[in-house]
Amino acid sequence: MKEKKGLDVTGAQGGVLFRVKALPNSQRTEAAGLYGGAVKIRVNAAPEKGKANREIESFLSGLLGLKKREVEVIKGLSSRDKTVKASGISETGLIKILTEAAADENG
């Protein structure tokens, strides 16, 4: 697992895996920093019936410049701690975009 600036990223068949710490019921959806190897995401959706997961997938696909079908929450569907798979992006590219988005929120 590569770790750069506190973000854990793993190459996977056809994509890249990374961890997300979801903060549901927020006023808006945005990157909120890094926490324990995961990117924190404030989510403007309730954690019910998959709404927050769909919002995370939509937000990340836009942030990463990917199609919605290329970003999927694959673990932690009913937890704040999630594993996300992104297809069509390199580990280096993903790390760069997510750490910059997290730094913008922190700084």
The pLDDT value recorded for residue 2 is 47
Nearest residue to 85 via CA among 105, 102, 106, 68: 68
- Domain count for the chain, please give it: 1
pLDDT in tens, 56-94: 999 999 999 999 999 999 999 999 999 999 999 999 999
The pLDDT value recorded for residue 105 is 65
Cα separation, 26 vs 43, whole angstroms: 5
- What interhelical angle do 51-64 and 91-106 show, nearest 10? 100
Give how far the C-alpha of residue 35 lies from the chain's centroid of Cα atoms, to the nearest Å.
Answer: 12
Residue 93 structural domain: 2-106
**Residue 21 DSSP one-character state:** E
Question: 31: buried, middle or exposed (CB in 10 Å: 19+, 13-18, 0-12)?
Answer: buried
Q: Which residues contact 51 (CB under 8 A, 6 or more apart)?
A: 45
For residue 44, what is the domain's CATH number? Answer: 3.30.1200.10
pLDDT in tens, 2-45: 444 578 999 988 899 999 999 999 999 999 999 999 999 999 99
pLDDT confidence bin for 106, thresholds 50/70/90: low
The pLDDT value recorded for residue 1 is 46
Q: Where are the alpha helices (DSSP H) in 13-64?
A: 51-64
